[in-house]
């Protein structure tokens, strides 16, 4: 029997139990091969709507559809056996009402098999989070820098730079936690504020550009792989330069094709000898 067949997938309660203990290791994934690579090492895989920018080259996440999230959620589920998987609710698929959010979240969980959904927003989304969790849909919150609100925020800006922002993000965090979220992503929040929120909440906080004291960390997989050669956010650490390796491979391939050194006979099929 394949050893992978006996692997037990991590659950939402497993993630919640990590509060104040071993950090939650999380990364985004959008494809089966990448999900397979990280499955043995991460606790929580996020199928993020960042795929709109990372995979499709869109300027923001706002054009991502529910169908896109389902397709990539299915791909990631096929590539994982151990990690808990959650899927972002895309922009405008849950803001209208708690009922709309339920329909979107239920469809995503039914069609992907993922364990949970993630949505952005603070106090204004607390009613929706409570509506979902009371109906059996695990929800991870997301406050601070919220990519789906980029138009309202006037860009990707750090949260918590003044007393008003500090009070706002703290209130938002408590509202989402009190509404029943099992965890909350703190993105682009001044470090001392993220630390305070982590200490105050009873659910795990997962930082991205927040604080090392958060109960876990998440980054976009293509950022840590170094696939992109351009802009790198301050909070990103590049653990590899895969983009450079890929570019060099393409360069060498193009050179060999043009010089007719590829394909050589070892890569060609020959007639069978009679």
CATH numbers and ranges of domains, the chain: 3-240 (3.20.20.60)
Q: What is the mean pLDDT of residues 5-12?
A: 90
CA dihedral 42, 47, 48, 53 (to 10 degrees): 110
Q: What is the mean pLDDT of residues 104-129?
A: 98
User: For residue 4, is pLDDT > 70?
Assistant: no
Closest of 65, 70, 215 to residue 140, by C-alpha: 215
Catalytic residue numbers read 187
Give the model's pLDDT for residue 155: 62
Give the model's pLDDT for residue 274: 73
- Using one digit for the tens of pLDDT, what is the confidence trace for 121-152? 999 999 999 999 999 999 999 999 998 877 66
Beta-carbon contacts of 45 under 8 Å, excluding residues fewer than 6 positions away, are 26, 27, 28, 29, 35, 38, 39, 76, 80, 83, 84, 85, 86
Q: Which residues are annotated as a binding site for Mg(2+)?
A: 49, 88, 120
- Using one digit for the tens of pLDDT, what is the confidence trace for 157-206? 777 789 999 999 999 999 999 999 999 999 999 999 999 999 999 999 99
Give the model's pLDDT for residue 153: 62
Confidence band for 1, pLDDT divided at 50, 70 and 90: very low
Closest of 179, 177, 178, 159 to residue 169, by C-alpha: 159
Torsion-angle region of 2 (φ positive above 0: left; ψ -120 to 50: alpha; else: beta) = beta
- Using one digit for the tens of pLDDT, what is the confidence trace for 256-265? 999 999 999 9
Instruction: Tell me the percentage of the chain whose pLDDT exceeds 90.
Output: 89
User: For residue 28, is pLDDT > 60?
Assistant: yes
User: For residue 70, is pLDDT > 80?
Assistant: yes
Confidence band for 5, pLDDT divided at 50, 70 and 90: low
Q: Which residue has the higher pLDDT, 229 or 242?
A: 242
Q: Which residues are annotated as a binding site for 3-methyl-2-oxobutanoate?
A: 49-50, 88, 118
Q: Which residues are annotated as a binding site?
A: 49-50, 88, 118, 120
Q: What is the mean pLDDT of residues 13-42?
A: 98
Confidence band for 233, pLDDT divided at 50, 70 and 90: confident
Q: What is the mean pLDDT of residues 93-110?
A: 98
**Chain centroid to CA 192: how far?**
24
């Amino acid at each position: 029997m394949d050893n992978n067949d006996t692997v037990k997938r991590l659950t939402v309660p497993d993630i919640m139990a990590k509060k104040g203990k071993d950090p939650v290791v999380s990364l985004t994934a959008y494809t089966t091969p990448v999900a397979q690579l990280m499955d043995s090492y991460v606790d929580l895989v996020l199928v993020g709507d960042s795929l709109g920018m990372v995979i499709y080259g869109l300027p923001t996440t706002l054009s991502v559809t529910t169908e896109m999230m389902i397709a990539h959620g299915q791909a990631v589920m096929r590539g994982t056996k151990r990690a808990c998987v959650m899927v972002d609710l895309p922009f405008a698929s849950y803001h209208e009402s708690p009922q709309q959010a339920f329909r979107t979240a239920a469809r995503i969980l039914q069609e992907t098999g993922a364990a949970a959904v993630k949505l952005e927003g603070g106090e204004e989304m607390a009613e929706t989070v409570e509506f979902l969790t009371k109906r059996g849909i695990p929800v991870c919150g997301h406050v601070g820098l919220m990519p789906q609100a980029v138009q309202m925020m006037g860009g990707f800006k750090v949260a918590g730079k003044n007393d008003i922002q500090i009070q706002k993000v703290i209130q938002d965090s408590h509202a989402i936690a009190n509404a029943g979220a099992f965890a909350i992503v703190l993105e682009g929040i001044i470090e001392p504020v993220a630390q305070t929120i982590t200490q105050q909440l009873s659910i795990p906080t997962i930082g991205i550009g927040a604080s090392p004291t958060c109960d876990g960390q998440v980054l976009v997989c293509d950022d840590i792989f170094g696939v992109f050669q351009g802009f790198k956010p301050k909070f990103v650490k590049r653990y590899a330069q895969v983009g450079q390796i890929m570019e060099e491979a393409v360069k060498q391939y193009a050179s060999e094709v043009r010089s007719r050194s590829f394909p050589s006979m070892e890569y060609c099929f020959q007639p069978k000898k009679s």
